[in-house]
Amino acid sequence: MDIAAVQDAFGTFLLDLALAVLSLGGAYAVSYIRLAADKARVQTAQLRDDSARAVLDAALDDVQRLAELSVGAMEQTTAKCLREQVK
């Protein structure tokens, strides 16, 4: 077996491992974002003012959506950089 082939296989393995860890971290981040948003929704449901509650719920939806998109974009950008460095 050629040493270059072993190094290439090991590099591919490390890349796959890094991408798996990155994906897992992104999944945990999205999970915690959803938990925090759900907790905030429960707290806003206790508000007596319907208009304030509606505004807060809409804001929470926007924040949750933006946070999930940001996590996904960071994950994809990091994965792209890792793939380019291995090439």
Q: What is the pLDDT of residues 19-75, one digit of tens each?
A: 899 889 988 998 998 898 888 888 888 878 888 888 888 998 999 999 989 988 988
The answer, yes or no, to whether residue 3 has pLDDT greater than 80, is yes
Query: In this structure, which amino acid lies at residue 73?
Result: A
Residue 1 or residue 49, greater confidence: 49
Residue 48 sits in which domain range?
A: 3-86
0.85 cut: is pTM over it?
no
* Rounded Cα–Cα distance for residues 27 and 58 (Å): 23
Count the domains in the chain. Answer: 1
The answer, yes or no, to whether residue 1 has pLDDT greater than 70, is no
50 is written with which tokens? 């319907």
